[in-house]
Amino acid sequence: MNHVSELIRCTDFAAIKHKDQRRKDIEATPYINHPIGVAKILTEEAGITDIPVIQAALLHDTVEDTDTSFEELNQHFGPEVCGIVKEVTDDKTLSKMERKQQQINHAPHASYKAKLVKLADKLYNLRDLRRCTPCGWTAERVQEYFVWSSKVVAGLRGTNRKMEDTLDDLFKERDIII
Ligand SMILES: Nc1nc2c(ncn2[C@@H]2O[C@H](COP(=O)(O)OP(=O)(O)O)[C@@H](OP(=O)(O)OP(=O)(O)O)[C@H]2O)c(=O)[nH]1
Ligand SMILES: [Mn+2]
């Protein structure tokens, strides 16, 4: 199958899976805007043309946030895409604090392709936080998310200059020393 239809298949799959999910902003933006935006950062800003990386970006939150299983991803999109999504999926059996710590610990050991998806995910979410504060979040919680993200990004360095430089500007704006 050609690359365009591979990408549309992923977009369609993710849109169906995330259909009842909304972002945490006041406007309750459809959640699918996030994976599509992560894929766009990779193609438009980071210069990535590797199709499995873009597919994984489109699908990256389906297992973590919906009823999707890795078997399903493997069946529909094959082992490479499924493997990248697995690498960027938090273990939901752990507590939130443990999950956050695991992201910091695991980041340096992720594959190059998974690191690309993680960088784009963090960049999207930090820009989103800058755009507006999620419902119920205090300014302190926003700042903590920036500080935690900077620790995850520290383990992803040396992967993509463009995304790392853009992230660094966002950290500097928040007085986070990197
Ligand atoms: N900035 C922002 N984030 C929102 C919004 N709506 C949903 N999110 C999601 O919330 C997650 C960050 O919030 P947390 O409180 O840290 O995590 P939680 O959802 O597990 O409780 C991100 O998940 P994630 O993509 O899995 O990434 P991460 O948890 O690895 O950072 C992000 O995509 C929004 O309006 N603004
Ligand atoms: Mn995400």
**CATH code at position 22:** 1.10.3210.10
Residue nearest atom 15 in ligand 1 by C-alpha distance: 145
* 61 Cβ below 6 A of ligand 1: yes
Encode pLDDT of 114-165 as tens digits: 999 999 999 999 999 999 999 999 999 999 999 999 999 999 999 999 999 9
Catalytic residue numbers, as ranges: 64-65
Q: Is the pTM of the predicted complex or chain greater than 0.95?
A: yes
Domain with 50, as residue range(s), is: 3-173
Please tell me the total count of domains within the chain. Answer: 1
Within a domain: residue 110?
yes
How many Å apart are CA 159 and CA 63, to the nearest integer?
A: 25
Ligand 2 centroid – CA 125 distance (Å): 7
CB neighbours of residue 109 within 10 Å: 10
| Mean pLDDT score, 97-105 | 98
Encode pLDDT of 11-61 as tens digits: 999 999 999 999 999 999 999 999 999 999 999 999 999 999 999 999 999
Within a domain: residue 148?
yes
Q: Which two tokens stand for residue 87?
A: 């690498």
State residue 106's pLDDT score: 98
Within a domain: residue 85?
yes
Within a domain: residue 178?
no
pLDDT of 1 higher than 80:
no
Interacting residues of 52 by C-beta distance below 8 A, sequence separation 6+: 80, 81, 84, 113
Mean pLDDT of the chain: 98
Within a domain: residue 16?
yes
ipTM exceeding the 0.90 mark: yes
Of the ligands numbered here, which is closest to the C-alpha atom of 147?
A: 1
Ligand 1 site-directed mutation target among 24, 119, 151, most atoms within 8 Å of CB: 24
Confidence of residue 178 (pLDDT cuts 50, 70, 90): confident
Residue nearest atom 31 in ligand 1 by C-alpha distance: 122
Within a domain: residue 137?
yes
Closest ligand 1 atom to 96 CA? 20
Helix axes 112-131, 161-173, angle to 10 degrees: 30
